[in-house]
Amino acid sequence: MKHTTLRPILLVEDSPVDAEMTMDALREAHLANPVIHLEDGVDCLDWLYARGAFAGRQEDDPAVVLLDIKMPRLNGLEVLTHLRADERFRRMPVVILSSSREESDLACSWNLGVNAYVIKPVDVAQFFQAVRTLGQFWGVLNQAPGGAG
Protein backbone atom coordinates (compact mmCIF):
# COMPACT_ATOMS: atom_id res chain seq x y z
CA MET A 1 0.00 0.00 0.00
CA LYS A 2 1.48 3.36 -1.06
CA HIS A 3 1.61 6.36 1.28
CA THR A 4 -0.45 9.18 -0.17
CA THR A 5 0.14 11.62 2.67
CA LEU A 6 3.49 13.27 3.29
CA ARG A 7 5.20 12.03 6.39
CA PRO A 8 5.79 14.62 9.10
CA ILE A 9 9.05 16.29 10.00
CA LEU A 10 9.65 15.79 13.72
CA LEU A 11 11.35 18.77 15.36
CA VAL A 12 12.66 18.05 18.85
CA GLU A 13 13.86 21.32 20.35
CA ASP A 14 13.46 22.72 23.88
CA SER A 15 14.27 26.33 23.00
CA PRO A 16 11.08 28.15 21.90
CA VAL A 17 13.19 30.70 19.97
CA ASP A 18 15.17 28.03 18.06
CA ALA A 19 12.01 25.98 17.45
CA GLU A 20 10.15 28.99 16.04
CA MET A 21 13.12 29.93 13.86
CA THR A 22 13.37 26.36 12.53
CA MET A 23 9.64 26.19 11.79
CA ASP A 24 9.80 29.57 10.04
CA ALA A 25 12.68 28.32 7.90
CA LEU A 26 10.78 25.13 7.02
CA ARG A 27 7.70 27.19 6.10
CA GLU A 28 9.86 29.44 3.92
CA ALA A 29 11.07 26.33 2.10
CA HIS A 30 7.42 25.69 1.10
CA LEU A 31 7.49 22.11 2.31
CA ALA A 32 4.16 20.36 2.32
CA ASN A 33 5.22 18.03 5.14
CA PRO A 34 3.53 18.79 8.45
CA VAL A 35 5.99 19.76 11.22
CA ILE A 36 5.47 18.29 14.67
CA HIS A 37 7.31 20.14 17.43
CA LEU A 38 8.20 18.34 20.64
CA GLU A 39 10.19 19.87 23.49
CA ASP A 40 12.37 17.04 24.75
CA GLY A 41 13.66 13.55 24.15
CA VAL A 42 11.11 11.80 26.35
CA ASP A 43 8.25 13.32 24.32
CA CYS A 44 10.09 12.37 21.13
CA LEU A 45 10.28 8.69 22.08
CA ASP A 46 6.68 8.72 23.39
CA TRP A 47 5.53 10.18 20.05
CA LEU A 48 7.55 7.70 17.98
CA TYR A 49 6.24 4.74 19.98
CA ALA A 50 2.69 6.20 20.17
CA ARG A 51 2.56 5.91 23.95
CA GLY A 52 1.73 8.17 26.89
CA ALA A 53 0.19 11.46 25.72
CA PHE A 54 0.56 10.27 22.10
CA ALA A 55 -1.13 6.88 22.49
CA GLY A 56 -3.52 6.30 19.62
CA ARG A 57 -1.89 8.79 17.25
CA GLN A 58 -1.86 7.90 13.58
CA GLU A 59 1.02 5.47 13.05
CA ASP A 60 3.19 7.26 10.53
CA ASP A 61 6.91 7.51 11.10
CA PRO A 62 8.50 10.88 10.33
CA ALA A 63 10.37 11.64 7.12
CA VAL A 64 13.19 13.00 9.27
CA VAL A 65 13.87 13.85 12.91
CA LEU A 66 15.51 17.23 13.55
CA LEU A 67 17.05 16.79 16.97
CA ASP A 68 18.65 19.24 19.38
CA ILE A 69 21.40 17.80 21.60
CA LYS A 70 21.05 19.83 24.79
CA MET A 71 17.57 19.08 26.18
CA PRO A 72 16.11 18.28 29.61
CA ARG A 73 15.03 14.78 30.68
CA LEU A 74 16.57 12.96 27.70
CA ASN A 75 19.14 14.64 25.45
CA GLY A 76 19.52 14.28 21.70
CA LEU A 77 22.38 11.79 21.90
CA GLU A 78 20.35 9.57 24.24
CA VAL A 79 17.40 9.72 21.82
CA LEU A 80 19.68 8.87 18.91
CA THR A 81 21.08 5.91 20.88
CA HIS A 82 17.52 4.59 21.44
CA LEU A 83 16.58 5.02 17.78
CA ARG A 84 19.67 3.26 16.42
CA ALA A 85 19.18 0.33 18.84
CA ASP A 86 15.64 -0.29 17.53
CA GLU A 87 15.25 -2.15 14.23
CA ARG A 88 12.17 -0.07 13.38
CA PHE A 89 14.01 3.26 13.67
CA ARG A 90 17.57 2.26 12.83
CA ARG A 91 17.44 3.73 9.31
CA MET A 92 15.24 6.72 10.10
CA PRO A 93 16.97 9.93 8.98
CA VAL A 94 18.13 11.95 11.99
CA VAL A 95 19.69 15.40 11.72
CA ILE A 96 21.28 16.97 14.77
CA LEU A 97 20.60 20.72 14.95
CA SER A 98 22.84 21.98 17.71
CA SER A 99 24.61 25.07 18.90
CA SER A 100 27.30 22.75 20.29
CA ARG A 101 30.67 22.90 18.61
CA GLU A 102 32.12 20.42 21.08
CA GLU A 103 34.17 17.82 19.25
CA SER A 104 32.85 15.10 21.58
CA ASP A 105 29.20 15.85 20.64
CA LEU A 106 30.09 15.78 16.96
CA ALA A 107 32.10 12.54 17.19
CA CYS A 108 29.48 10.86 19.36
CA SER A 109 26.68 11.84 16.94
CA TRP A 110 28.52 10.37 13.95
CA ASN A 111 29.44 7.24 15.92
CA LEU A 112 25.75 6.77 16.76
CA GLY A 113 24.79 6.98 13.10
CA VAL A 114 23.43 10.51 12.67
CA ASN A 115 22.69 11.41 9.03
CA ALA A 116 23.79 15.04 9.34
CA TYR A 117 25.07 17.41 12.03
CA VAL A 118 24.24 21.08 11.57
CA ILE A 119 25.69 23.67 13.92
CA LYS A 120 23.12 26.39 14.50
CA PRO A 121 24.83 29.54 13.27
CA VAL A 122 24.34 32.77 15.16
CA ASP A 123 23.52 34.37 11.81
CA VAL A 124 19.78 33.95 11.25
CA ALA A 125 20.00 34.00 7.44
CA GLN A 126 22.60 31.20 7.48
CA PHE A 127 20.45 29.18 9.86
CA PHE A 128 17.37 29.62 7.64
CA GLN A 129 19.34 28.52 4.59
CA ALA A 130 20.67 25.42 6.39
CA VAL A 131 17.22 24.38 7.61
CA ARG A 132 15.57 25.05 4.23
CA THR A 133 18.19 22.90 2.51
CA LEU A 134 17.76 20.10 5.06
CA GLY A 135 13.98 20.30 4.83
CA GLN A 136 14.00 20.15 1.06
CA PHE A 137 16.40 17.22 1.01
CA TRP A 138 14.79 15.09 3.70
CA GLY A 139 11.22 16.20 3.10
CA VAL A 140 11.15 15.99 -0.68
CA LEU A 141 14.24 14.49 -2.29
CA ASN A 142 15.35 11.74 0.05
CA GLN A 143 14.24 8.23 -0.88
CA ALA A 144 13.96 5.90 2.11
CA PRO A 145 14.92 2.22 1.68
CA GLY A 146 11.95 0.17 0.47
CA GLY A 147 10.11 -1.80 3.13
CA ALA A 148 7.35 -4.35 3.31
CA GLY A 149 4.07 -3.03 2.03
Q: What is the pTM of this model?
A: 0.82
What is the pLDDT, as a whole number, of residue 117?
84
Backbone angles phi, psi at 105, to 5 degrees: -65, -45
Burial 37-51 (b: 16+ CB within 10 A, else e): bbbbbbbbbbbbeee
What are 8-29's pLDDT values in tens digits? 889 999 999 989 988 888 887 7
What is the pLDDT, as a whole number, of residue 99?
83
In this structure, the chain runs to a length of 149
Is residue 135 scored above 80 in pLDDT?
no
What is the pLDDT, as a whole number, of residue 146?
52
Q: Decide: 74 and 83 in contact? Cβ < 8 Å.
A: no
What is the pLDDT, as a whole number, of residue 19?
92
Q: 1 falls in which pLDDT band (50, 70, 90)?
A: very low
* CATH 3.30.470.20 at 16-140, yes or no: no
Is residue 145 scored above 60 in pLDDT?
no
